[in-house]
A and B are shown apart, each in its own frame.
Chain A
Amino acid sequence: MDNTLKVAGMRKSFGKSLLFTLPMFLITFMFMTGGKPNFSDPASGLAMLTAFLLVNVLYFFMHYTGKTDRYRAVLFIIFALSLSYTLIHNMLEVRKSMSFSQADILECKIPFCHLVIPMMILPAAFTKSIIFPGSIISGFANISSMVVLWLVATLVLGRGFCSWGCFYGGWDDGFSRIRKRPVIKKISELWKWMPFAVLLMVVLSAALTMMPTYCSWICPFKAVTEFERVTSVESATKAGIFLSLFGGLVVALPVMTKKRTQCSFLCPLGAINSLSNKITPFTVKIDKDACNECFKCVGVCPLYALTTDDIKAGKVSLFCSKCGKCVDACSRNAIHYGIRGIPSGTMKNFSRNLFLFVSFLFMAIFSSGSIINTFHGLLKLIF
């Protein structure tokens, strides 16, 4: 088949794209407005309307252009920025500082994030308790709701969580898009196993010390959320580690390699999410009959999830985050979204439509609160 025709197969007409956007439009409308848009505070109303239009326009373009990653990334990056804005804004309002104090730890007021989950498992199983100074059920980012959100997202999306749900991933995704061409072209593939080593290390060290060691000592995203107040050599060392890892793995290396290096080489939750790729219904498949082995997809994959061997074998590796970058890059539509059980090369449109609806809906609703909050803050700054 002619290449252009194959790409055109993923595109839809204007009317059909509108029709496909309608369910997203209605559901996000209900979630963002509760069914009753309120413009009594113009800034809040406008922020809500902007966020609502943003998600629906992006979703419409996914159908209309047949491209996925380009529009996914816009929302994913805005999500990461707005979540950091929301967290920092919250910290400054409540505590007048981006750092938390010993009292906040003692009173268990630290917001919980999904990266703590791997470290919770062993202590929860053996001591029947949670080793985190947060709130179990009440307040912002409480432990129970974050566990539910992550569990469902992992079951449904697998490592897709890392491109459609994680409010940190947008940082290195964003920086990996800054340069047109990479400065560093080759990094050993072996590094992609590093998150499993980090996972093992933090799970064991957390159990032994009864402390979420990754959060206390390693997490690069402390640099853009909240961290312990620097009052001692120990807290200064921690702040130094957070900032260097953020600067190195989230900013510098993604800019130079065009890859998501933090997510590929460090994040322990990414490792767990990769394993969950084995059970999720949605996958990325290779249609061997359509593939001419140009390996364009291998070059663009930001997570080192594709190798030339994978393409030859017709199988995407467990590191795949279903971002769609390779799918967009393939002019023959040979690499495509699929559903477990359905042979590759068949029902491509059906699989893509279903996957996009599920994954985009999750991201749109999950991100809407912090995006509205950020737009609201910006509008208040301007007017």
Chain B
Amino acid sequence: MKKVKIIAGISWAIFCLILILILFPGLNSFSGSVSKLPFMKLNPRYTGGEIANQVIQERCTLDIRKPVFNGFLKERTSGFVQLDWHGTIPEMIKDSIDYDHDGNMDFCILVDRKNSKTVLDPISKKVKGVVISTPTSYGWAVRIGLLK
């Protein structure tokens, strides 16, 4: 029994040695495999959610993303909708948004990029306020807080 334990211990140690030897040369391929695991995708709370609607404007495009209400075990009662403008964006952004596609406008948004001022005019009672309004590498992004 003692001998078996010694052999098992040494084999485990040698296996670990091999693991360390192949870890760095194989890191890209191991990481690639890990990245394909079903849970290896960013939560919509971080990505902003999938793009639900794209509005092509004069010189820029507005992406309206799917509202995000993700919670741990169930959906939350409050969440947000993210809007992204990219392309050649005017100094003053002004848009009316129907985020739930019910045919009625839910809010109007005005972004004064020069003064970093964002004004929200809620039309629907589900619209709570501006969570984030910020310049990004691609243009401008806004998150509007929502109630379910």
State whether B6 touches A152 (Cβ < 8 A).
no
B5 partner residues in chain A, CB cutoff 8 A: 341-342
Query: Per-residue 0/1 for A259-285: is the Cβ within 8 Å of any B Cβ (1 yes, 0 no)?
Result: 000000000000000000000111000
State whether A123 touches B43 (Cβ < 8 A).
yes
A127 and B137 in contact (CB under 8 A), knowing A137-B31, A339-B13?
A: no
State whether B17 touches A103 (Cβ < 8 A).
no
State whether B32 touches A144 (Cβ < 8 A).
yes
CA separation between A340 and B10, bound complex, in Å?
A: 8
State whether B35 touches A144 (Cβ < 8 A).
yes
State whether A342 touches B134 (Cβ < 8 A).
no
CA separation between A361 and B2, bound complex, in Å?
A: 30
Contacting B13 at CB < 8 Å: which of A102, A105, A131, A282?
A282
State whether A126 touches B72 (Cβ < 8 A).
yes
Name the distance in Å between B122's Cβ and chain A's nearest Cβ: 21
B55 partner residues in chain A, CB cutoff 8 A: none
Among B30, B35, B143, chain A packs the most CB atoms within 10 A around the CB of B35
CA separation between A181 and B29, bound complex, in Å?
A: 48
CA separation between A357 and B19, bound complex, in Å?
A: 13
Instruction: Kindly report which residue of chain B lies nearest to residue A368, judged by CB atoms.
Output: B24
B53 at the A interface (CB under 8 A):
no
A340 partner residues in chain B, CB cutoff 8 A: 9, 12-13
B43 partner residues in chain A, CB cutoff 8 A: 123, 127, 129-131, 210
Mark out the residues of chain A between 315 and 365 whose CB falls within 8 Å of any chain B CB in the assembled complex.
339-343, 354-355, 357-358, 361-362, 365
A167 at the B interface (CB under 8 A):
no
B132 at the A interface (CB under 8 A):
yes
B41 partner residues in chain A, CB cutoff 8 A: 128-130, 136
Name the distance in Å between A140's Cβ and chain B's nearest Cβ: 13
Contacting B46 at CB < 8 Å: which of A108, A126, A149?
A108
State whether A136 touches B35 (Cβ < 8 A).
yes
Name the distance in Å between A83's Cβ and chain B's nearest Cβ: 17
A52 at the B interface (CB under 8 A):
no
Mark out the residues of chain A between 183 and 217 whose CB falls within 8 Å of any chain B CB in the assembled complex.
207-208, 210
State whether B34 touches A361 (Cβ < 8 A).
no
State whether A358 touches B45 (Cβ < 8 A).
no
B135 partner residues in chain A, CB cutoff 8 A: 103
A108 and B42 in contact (CB under 8 A), knowing A31-B24, A156-B20, A281-B13?
A: yes
CA separation between A210 and B70, bound complex, in Å?
A: 9
State whether B27 touches A106 (Cβ < 8 A).
no
- Total A-B pairs in contact (CB under 8 Å)? 141
B8 at the A interface (CB under 8 A):
yes
A207 and B72 in contact (CB under 8 A), knowing A101-B134, A128-B38, A144-B40?
A: yes
State whether A155 touches B19 (Cβ < 8 A).
yes
B35 partner residues in chain A, CB cutoff 8 A: 136-137, 143-144
A132 and B9 in contact (CB under 8 A), knowing A137-B32, A358-B17?
A: no
A122 at the B interface (CB under 8 A):
yes
A1 at the B interface (CB under 8 A):
no
Instruction: Kindly report which residue of chain A lies nearest to residue B141, judged by CB atoms.
Output: A106
Contacting B72 at CB < 8 Å: which of A31, A134, A208, A354?
A208
A103 and B137 in contact (CB under 8 A), knowing A108-B42, A143-B40?
A: yes
State whether B6 touches A136 (Cβ < 8 A).
no
State whether B136 touches A107 (Cβ < 8 A).
yes
B13 partner residues in chain A, CB cutoff 8 A: 281-282, 339-340, 354-355, 358
Instruction: Kindly report which residue of chain B lies nearest to residue A211, judged by CB atoms.
Output: B45
State whether A365 touches B39 (Cβ < 8 A).
no
B2 partner residues in chain A, CB cutoff 8 A: 343
A152 and B40 in contact (CB under 8 A), knowing A103-B134, A281-B12?
A: no
Mark out the residues of chain B between 25 and 64 whose CB falls within 8 Å of any chain A CB in the assembled complex.
27-28, 30-32, 34-35, 38-48
Contacting B16 at CB < 8 Å: which of A103, A142, A155?
A155
Mark out the residues of chain A between 92 and 146 whose CB falls within 8 Å of any chain B CB in the assembled complex.
101-103, 105-108, 122-134, 136-137, 142-145
State whether B136 touches A127 (Cβ < 8 A).
no
Mark out the residues of chain B between 71 and 112 whose CB falls within 8 Å of any chain A CB in the assembled complex.
71-73, 82
B23 at the A interface (CB under 8 A):
yes
A147 at the B interface (CB under 8 A):
yes
What are 27 contact pairs spanning A and B, CB under 8 A? A103-B141, A107-B138, A108-B47, A126-B73, A127-B43, A128-B38, A129-B43, A130-B42, A132-B46, A136-B41, A137-B35, A144-B40, A145-B28, A148-B23, A148-B30, A149-B23, A152-B19, A207-B72, A210-B45, A281-B12, A281-B13, A282-B13, A341-B6, A342-B10, A358-B20, A361-B21, A365-B24
Q: List 6 additional contacts besides A107-B136, A107-B138; criterion CB under 8 Å.
A: A108-B42, A128-B38, A129-B70, A136-B35, A149-B23, A280-B16
- B→A interface (CB under 8 Å): 2, 5-10, 12-17, 19-21, 23-24, 27-28, 30-32, 34-35, 38-48, 70-73, 82, 132, 134-138, 141, 143
